A and B are shown apart, each in its own frame.
Chain A
């Protein structure tokens, strides 16, 4: 079953703790992205990676970190430095060619308690 998988679906974190969100794809896509979705604000780009072992900051990277050690995996760590981490996080992947669409995962809802 091909696609992009995010886990877990729901995640609870205590204040001051780091937490890692998983994103895996078996579409053989080169590029992967992390977006944050908040009500009334749409989706905002956190980090993206166009190839393995390389990634760039998006518009709201502060308090987040990523790694891209394998083509199929792009985990996102929400650190304690992120001031308002409660949100819905979406991962996406895309073939690196022109005119290709992005495919999204089901999302992870992170709640800080």
Chain B
């Protein structure tokens, strides 16, 4: 089965605290994984993808094939990070469709 699980519906932290948004996947093959973010009243946009191995807005995510995880991390959260975050998997050779997790709402308090 192809599935993405984000166990936390809501994550609330204080500004400056570390953040980790969890994502686990189920996929028989080499996954292509993404994190998308949706800020209030804005469209869903790509935050980062595992193949590029880059840091965007201070966020990083490492693919752990042994644990089938792709957790999103940031060492020091900012108030502007408050948004809805979705982890997504793109199966190979299935038309480019994305399988999304349920989403985690991150709230960063001052």
Contact = CB atoms under 8 A, between A and B. Distances in A.
Interface of B is mostly: loop
Interface of A is mostly: strand
A2 to B, nearest CB: 14
Contact of B97 (A33, A90, A99, A105): A33
Interface string A32-55: 010100001111110010100000
Contacts, number: 51
A80 to B, nearest CB: 26
Interface residues of B, number: 20
Contacts of A90: 44
A104 interface: yes
B96 A45 contact: no
15 contacts: A41-B102, A42-B6, A42-B103, A43-B86, A43-B100, A45-B97, A48-B95, A50-B96, A56-B95, A92-B98, A96-B96, A102-B98, A104-B43, A104-B45, A105-B43
A100 B99 CA distance: 16
Given A56-B95, A104-B43, 4 more contacts: A42-B6, A42-B101, A43-B44, A45-B99
A33 B96 CA distance: 9
Interface in B78-110: 86, 95-103
Among A31, A42, A50, residue most surrounded by chain B Cβ atoms (within 10 Å) = A42
